[in-house]
Structure 1
Amino acid sequence: MSTIQVEIPDEVLISLKETAETMPEELCLMAAIKLFELGKLSSGRAAQLAGISRVTFLMKIGRYQVSPFALTAEQLADDVRNA
């Protein structure tokens, strides 16, 4: 597993109502959701990036206005194969 370090200004954390402890988890989730939305990751791989189960990931994406059903036929087939 790789680690990436990101510096976030305190003002950004305050604006987002996040802390230095909660922000890494939130950033991983947001990155996973965006990569899923763009079709770069399957829901399973996106969940892995977010550090949560696939079911939990699919339940969380709604709060970011991302549909779990906006998959191409190929992406859906990949998800079924990887399930």
Structure 2
Amino acid sequence: MTFVEALKSKVPKITLHTKEEIIEREIAERVSLYLYSQGQISSGTAANIIGISRVEFLQLAGKEKIPMFEFSKEELEHELKEI
């Protein structure tokens, strides 16, 4: 049994009409966004997992309110002083 088949057996029947490709894409997006937001993978790797360009991934991350850059307070203060 594939992961998607196992997932389908546990979700409400209304979603069973969703095409497997759509479910797989959504899972890939959610996992990639999560791993990227945790700093575990790069935006390029996340884009490759989903099968989109890096720019498209960064746009997707922006829609999900996931920051492109993660600065500590000290790093941000240093960067602002450089301007």
TM-score tier after normalising by the smaller chain length: 0.5 to 0.7
* Long gaps (5+) in structure 1: 74-83
Distance 1:26 1:67, change over 3 A: same
Q: Secondary structure at the match of 1:21?
A: helix
Query: Counterpart of 1:66 in structure 2: which amino acid?
Result: I
Instruction: Name the % identity.
Output: 27
Secondary structure of 2:21's aligned partner:
coil
Partner in structure 2 of residue 50 of structure 1: 50
**Equivalent residue number for residue 80 of structure 2:** none
Amino acid aligned to 1:11: P
Unaligned 5+ residue runs, structure 2?
A: 76-83
Higher relative contact order (CA 8 A, sep 6+): 1
Bigger share in helix:
2
Task: Name the structure 2 match of 1:80.
Answer: none
Q: Which amino acid aligns with 2:32?
A: A
Amino acid at match of 1:44: G
The two structures, once aligned, show a CA RMSD in angstroms of 2.6
Structure 1: which amino acid aligns with 2:22? T
Q: What is the CA distance between 1:70 and its match in structure 2?
A: 2.1
C-alpha separation between the residues in 2 aligned to 1:12 and 1:69? 39
Deviations 1:7-58 (A, max 9, x none): 22341763xx954331101100111110101111011111111111100000
Is the 1:13–1:20 contact (alpha carbons within 8 Å) kept by the matching residues of 2? no
Q: Distance in 2 between matches of 1:12 and 1:38?
A: 32
> TM-score, structure 1 length as denominator?
0.65
Q: Which residue of 2 aligns with 1:11?
A: 12
Task: Look at both structures and tell me which one has the larger radius of gyration over its CA atoms.
Answer: 2
